[in-house]
Structure 1
Amino acid sequence: MIVSALICICIILACAFIITLIKVLLMKKAAIEIFEEMEEKLKNDTNTLITVSTSDKSMRKLAQKLNEQLKELRKRRHYFMQGDAELKEAVTNISHDIRTPLTAICGYLELLEGEEMSKKAIRYLEIIKSRTEILENLTEELFQYSMITTGEEDMEREEVVINSVLEESIAAFYTVLTEVNISPHIKITEKRIVRKLSPSALSRIFSNLINNAVKYSDGDLEIILSEKGEIVFSNTASGLNYMQVSKLFERFYTVEDMQKSTGLGLSIVKKLVEQMDGSIMAEYNDEKLIISVYFPES
């Protein structure tokens, strides 16, 4: 009797163990299904919901709750994307509308320069012209940013020798650098670094980075193009700090004393680099601002 009872207990325990094990395995399978489907839903913009093959109430309730959160997430994502698109369109329209009267103003200012005026009038005219040029540059920067972010910028790629484009960009800024007493230290590898890029976009990237150095440098600038194809711009920038540098690529972010900037120069650089499958990063070490750009080989 005792032996029979023990055997029955063992059988019951074995059955219970097997049932529990099967239930655990089924729940594990359901958890994996939920995880994989959640990952797929977040990765792809789809309206489908999470489904599970298990009949377990707890796992189905979990899937239901996640589906509710997915619906809310999609709603918020759609709202954000719509608002972002409207903002970009508004910036494009505003910058375009401002460009037309600005061009006319600049034309009339040039005509006024040929007229006979008093010294005071000439001084006022110079101030107006200076402020108009600043406004014109800011408007152009806004327009270019909106063109890039809306995908209207021509990004046709071709085989480009990065060495040549970098040298041309540095030469174009030679006068500007001289005016602010910056003598750049340049190291460009003799090896031809060829990548499939947009020449105009690459030129704009280099121009904006050099212009950034003009704004923030304490008087030095080092530009390096390595054999691996990495382009590094570094300069002493004691007026910056780590937090400011971490935000340099954010759109409309400006350092407090840079009142002549929209904060879009480096944001444009980041957009263009990423659109051409490259990478960019900024570091701040020992009062040195270091910006590195890299385009992988095709």
Structure 2
Amino acid sequence: MNIPVIVLTAIIVLLILYIYLLKRQFKNINRQLDKRLNKHTRQPVSVEFINRQLNQLVININNCLKAEENLRLTCIRDEKKFKELIANISHDLRTPLTAIKGYLQMLDNGELSCEQQMKLDVAVKYTRELEQLISHFFEYSCLISAEDELKLEKINLTNLMTECLAEAVPSFEEQHLILDFIEPKAIFVLGDKESLLRIIQNLIRNCRQHARDRVEVQLLEENEQAVMSFCNYMEKDSDLDPGRMFERFYTGDKARVSQSGLGLAIVKILAEQMGGGAAAALEEVRLEIRVMLPLFRDEG
């Protein structure tokens, strides 16, 4: 065998070995990235094979991972500060609100002219709205910072919904709203009773605030889930975006400064904590809000 052939053979062998080592390093890098992704480790990516381009690639990967980790930690800190801010605001506002309500009650007990009484009634109305706003702030701050597990048990959702709707009938009548609810068969869910009450009450409150003419309520079983459906009719010029309805502070109308936009956000959080979810759909002027919950199944 002549020398050129030997040299060429050696070069080919070295190239094959070089390519093999490169592929082995890429495989090792992928394994390390997969480990960081699935096992949530913070170990930087390392490389054993000496290659300038490959080493620079690993350096850039580690820089990106470090930047992403710093961003994640910043978001966590900002979210924690936001939660503390909401809790502090809700607590701080309750004291002056209590004083305002006391003075308004004293005025109401005194002798007032018709004009003064009308102004007092307006003040009382907005004080109640402020109280509701603060209550939502407090409830939301408690939910997003809660660490206690819910007490999940067998709940007769049919009875619970019927009781809540019966209590709400007078307020619907005051607003000239027709409540359409046909009591279904008994549907049992696995949930926390206090959370279910808050969900139903918030859905009823949302309908009272935004409904026009009629409110349609259904309770049914779909896809192995219990579904609470609340339908109401909106104004034709409504700017509502159903895809954003469960975002905190979203009201769908910039002019509605008296509403917090937290009611439906609370509904979704509570439903998800019990293993369910929430969704909204708008067809022309008909808005439907659906809350899905896991059905209770007897193990026997």
TM-score tier after normalising by the smaller chain length: 0.7 to 0.9
Report SS of the residue matched to 1:155: coil
Q: Give 2:96's match in structure 1, choosing from 85, 98, 101.
A: 101
CA–CA distance in 2 between the matches of 1:277 and 1:54? 48
- Which residue identity does 2:98 align to in structure 1? T
Cα shift readout 1:20-51 (whole Å, capped 9, x = no counterpart): 6634642552353144134237xx3x543234
Cα shift readout 1:228-282 (whole Å, capped 9, x = no counterpart): 412222223234346x222111111222242320111111111111222211112
1:168 is aligned to: 163
When residues 223 and 53 of structure 1 are mapped into structure 2, their CA distance, relative to the original with a 3 A threshold, is farther
The farther-off stretch of 216-225 and 260-269 is 216-225
When residues 162 and 5 of structure 1 are mapped into structure 2, their CA distance, relative to the original with a 3 A threshold, is farther
When residues 25 and 73 of structure 1 are mapped into structure 2, their CA distance, relative to the original with a 3 A threshold, is closer
Mapping 1:285-296, distance limit 5 Å: 285-296=283-294
Amino-acid identity (%): 27
2:256 is aligned to: 258
Q: Give 2:278's match in structure 1, choosing from 265, 280, 287.
A: 280
- How far did residue 203 of structure 1 move? 1.0
1:216 is aligned to: 210
The alignment status of 1:235 with 2:229, answered yes or no, reads no
- Which residue identity does 1:261 align to in structure 2? Q
> Does structure 2 retain, via aligned residues, the 8 Å contact 1:186–1:224?
yes
When residues 119 and 265 of structure 1 are mapped into structure 2, their CA distance, relative to the original with a 3 A threshold, is same
> Does structure 2 retain, via aligned residues, the 8 Å contact 1:191–1:227?
no
RMSD: 2.9
Q: Extract unaligned runs of 5+ from structure 2.
A: none
CA–CA distance in 1 between the matches of 2:261 and 2:56? 47
- Which residue identity does 1:233 align to in structure 2? F
> Does structure 2 retain, via aligned residues, the 8 Å contact 1:26–1:54?
no
> Does structure 2 retain, via aligned residues, the 8 Å contact 1:92–1:143?
yes
CA–CA distance in 2 between the matches of 1:169 and 1:60? 65
- Which residue identity does 1:248 align to in structure 2? M
Q: Give 1:246's match in structure 2, choosing from 238, 243, 248.
A: 243
Report SS of the residue matched to 1:160: strand
- Which residue identity does 2:86 align to in structure 1? V
2:20 is aligned to: 22
> Does structure 2 retain, via aligned residues, the 8 Å contact 1:27–1:56?
no
Q: What is the TM-score of this pair, normalised by structure 2? A: 0.83
Report SS of the residue matched to 2:287: strand
When residues 153 and 289 of structure 1 are mapped into structure 2, their CA distance, relative to the original with a 3 A threshold, is farther
CA–CA distance in 1 between the matches of 2:45 and 2:162? 54
1:132 is aligned to: 127
Report SS of the residue matched to 1:184: strand
Report SS of the residue matched to 2:232: strand
> Does structure 2 retain, via aligned residues, the 8 Å contact 1:209–1:266?
yes
Report SS of the residue matched to 2:151: coil
Q: What is the TM-score of this pair, normalised by structure 1? A: 0.83
Q: How many residues align?
A: 291
Report SS of the residue matched to 1:226: strand
Mapping 1:167-206, distance limit 5 Å: 167-195=162-190, 197-206=191-200
> Does structure 2 retain, via aligned residues, the 8 Å contact 1:33–1:52?
no
